[in-house]
Structure 1
């Protein structure tokens, strides 16, 4: 994310307030994320963290900070020799997933469980070897995992889970067993509902041309697109009034060109609002629009899907916030109930996100 040099740099008090707000919301902040979102150097962010630590407001950790009030490891219930261990495998240990994992760890502490966390990768072609190592090396009683479910991978992992005999819960993923499509236990954010809420918010502001920008590699994109289409159909917004673009991953060299194309298309088509997944993509679109002299939200309203760092950007981005911590809590709760009663019916839990209205969305400009 780049920052317009003409924008006013946030004052120290504003930076620290934004940093603490993100910490309160997500339970952790990363120097790189705050630096990028606020348009200041990493050195400046580290100084702010150091000052806030002196004031007792947070605790520094490698690469960022955690709340000072977070329960210390010594304060957690000490696992007994017979306590159970939960294995967790997620595709990332930085963006999005830390909030989910913290919810798992908090719920596990309540029950004296030990969590063994492993990270995979969105590029990992097959998670089964990692799951096998987790199950064998750590002697887990059950698994919570977010595997890739596209193509044949989902079916392969589902079969492995069935054959392992371990209780398991999918988190932010859904899968089923062939041949009868028996569902696996799962906890997900209702991303389709989140997208529907976003489009309704923009329509309430008078927008009739609402574009959708998706992350090409994200498993969340399909559900966001479904909610967007359902909202457009329910509100009578025709497909001719909208456009959809798949943005390359922000680390891809093609990313700047894709952002330029999104803004080009919005201007040419008369689109006045965009729903963008996720925060870095949304902030890049806003920056491109402002670099061209477009007002945000005056000429183009932008609503982000994720709310990881949306509130730190200027203007602060209206965003849909998935219930990350709640998903983590519910996943551990489901696994505990499965361990206690192996014959209980399969549960699939969908938790609603929240819409957080900020500065980047507003009424359609007359004329």
Structure 2
């Protein structure tokens, strides 16, 4: 078979691809998805209808858009106790997406805010938005919010300008899943993050406990999370005495890139050539693509190749269900609200940077390493 890239994704991987595209672009077109996923219009429309029933998207003519924002300025939260009086505090949240990954984070924020009697405004920016300052300025100037929780795009020319603006706007702020400093003194910004490096270590230790020695890491080239995963993975390989000849790292382009299928093929080719028996793949959609292609090429999962996904957003929906590292999304959101409210209550307190540990959910896609020569 000389055209390995032209394979059709299974339903869970198709769903993940659609959600990732919505997160990035704000809209998906049926004509484009048919080409990208290699499925019939009937299959795709059935997928979109089911996802709409689940509240994941809203169908429009020729495609789909994200669901309605989960909170807006018209939402009001009653005080948490009858003794409280007056208008509740209002905090604004700006995250890159209200689809993949971030709904769990914002859900944790809303739950904690409701418990504390705080009103929340949620907005989704976009990974393609180069400068979030206009959105943040509207929050501060037009909405009159008391505090900000922000996940800025850190890979743009305006990234440091956004951080400087946050430090000078007069409203307390907390970064979520981001870390930054304020110039010129390099003071750290208050933040809540997942320990993604530890997540990679948990995955590597699990594979080592199953006897895997020749392992690989495949990560998204453009994700801020990937850098931390790579750092943890390198540390784990040193801890487990895996030498550079026994493991490899591969970076994938965006899933909508025309280079994506070829990159998946090339990474799987590398794994086969090196006798790799296990992979950690970030994020879920990419892990599903690897499992799909491996199965299409007659590589059994997990008997021949164990696969761990990173994010655990939709990994359990695949067959076999993927073992996955799950960042603590809800706890992360709750911690961000708590940190911001503590800052509002005591503006003089020291800067806090909170790190929350992920967990490893073991499922059917990992198994003991096959015996060499078997």
TM-score normalized by the length of structure 1: 0.81
Deviations 1:244-298, CA, capped at 9 Å, x for gaps:
1111111212111111111111001111111000000000000000100001111
Following the alignment from structure 2 to structure 1, what is the Cα–Cα distance between the partners of residues 320 and 187? 46
> Which residue of structure 2 aligns with residue 141 of structure 1?
146
Gaps of 5+ in 1: 11-31, 51-58, 67-72
Following the alignment from structure 1 to structure 2, what is the Cα–Cα distance between the partners of residues 317 and 164? 44
Shift of 1:162: 1.4
CA contact (8 A) 1:2 1:284 kept: no
Deviations 1:321-364, CA, capped at 9 Å, x for gaps:
00000000000000000000000011100000010000111111
Q: Secondary structure at the match of 1:195?
A: helix
Alignment of 1:43 with 2:46, yes or no, is yes
Following the alignment from structure 2 to structure 1, what is the Cα–Cα distance between the partners of residues 156 and 262? 29
TM-score normalized by the length of structure 2: 0.80
> Which residue of structure 1 aligns with residue 252 of structure 2?
247
> Which residue of structure 1 aligns with residue 163 of structure 2?
158
Specify whether residues 309 and 48 from structure 1 end up closer, same or farther in structure 2 by C-alpha distance, changes over 3 A only.
closer
Following the alignment from structure 2 to structure 1, what is the Cα–Cα distance between the partners of residues 330 and 165? 27
Q: Secondary structure at the match of 1:285?
A: helix
Following the alignment from structure 1 to structure 2, what is the Cα–Cα distance between the partners of residues 175 and 146? 11
- Runs of 4+ aligned residues of structure 1 deviating over 6 Å after TM superposition are 47-50
Deviations 1:180-235, CA, capped at 9 Å, x for gaps:
32111100010000000000101111111111111111000000000000000111
Aligned equivalent of 1:303, options 308, 318, 333:
308
Shift of 1:131: 1.0
Gaps of 5+ in 2: 1-6, 13-29, 31-36, 38-42, 60-66, 68-73
Alignment of 1:355 with 2:356, yes or no, is no
Deviations 1:157-183, CA, capped at 9 Å, x for gaps:
221011101100000000011223211
Following the alignment from structure 1 to structure 2, what is the Cα–Cα distance between the partners of residues 204 and 114? 46
Describe how 1:180-191 pairs up with structure 2 within 5 A.
180-191=185-196
Shift of 1:154: 3.6
Alignment of 1:120 with 2:132, yes or no, is no
Alignment of 1:277 with 2:282, yes or no, is yes
Shift of 1:44: 7.0
Deviations 1:73-124, CA, capped at 9 Å, x for gaps:
9995269652111011001111100100011011111122111111111111
Specify whether residues 61 and 157 from structure 1 end up closer, same or farther in structure 2 by C-alpha distance, changes over 3 A only.
closer
> Which residue of structure 2 aligns with residue 77 of structure 1?
78
Shift of 1:137: 1.7
Aligned equivalent of 2:109, options 89, 101, 104:
104
> Which residue of structure 2 aligns with residue 287 of structure 1?
292
Following the alignment from structure 2 to structure 1, what is the Cα–Cα distance between the partners of residues 267 and 86? 56
CA contact (8 A) 2:51 2:57 kept: no
Following the alignment from structure 1 to structure 2, what is the Cα–Cα distance between the partners of residues 362 and 318? 10
Q: Secondary structure at the match of 1:239?
A: coil
Aligned equivalent of 1:335, options 330, 340, 344:
340
> Which residue of structure 2 aligns with residue 18 of structure 1?
none
Deviations 1:18-54, CA, capped at 9 Å, x for gaps:
xxxxxxxxxxxxxx9xxx9xxx76637856997xxxx
Specify whether residues 175 and 60 from structure 1 end up closer, same or farther in structure 2 by C-alpha distance, changes over 3 A only.
closer
Alignment of 1:95 with 2:110, yes or no, is no
Q: Secondary structure at the match of 1:193?
A: helix
Specify whether residues 42 and 108 from structure 1 end up closer, same or farther in structure 2 by C-alpha distance, changes over 3 A only.
farther
* C-alpha RMSD over aligned residues: 2.8
Following the alignment from structure 1 to structure 2, what is the Cα–Cα distance between the partners of residues 61 and 356? 23
Q: Secondary structure at the match of 2:224?
A: coil
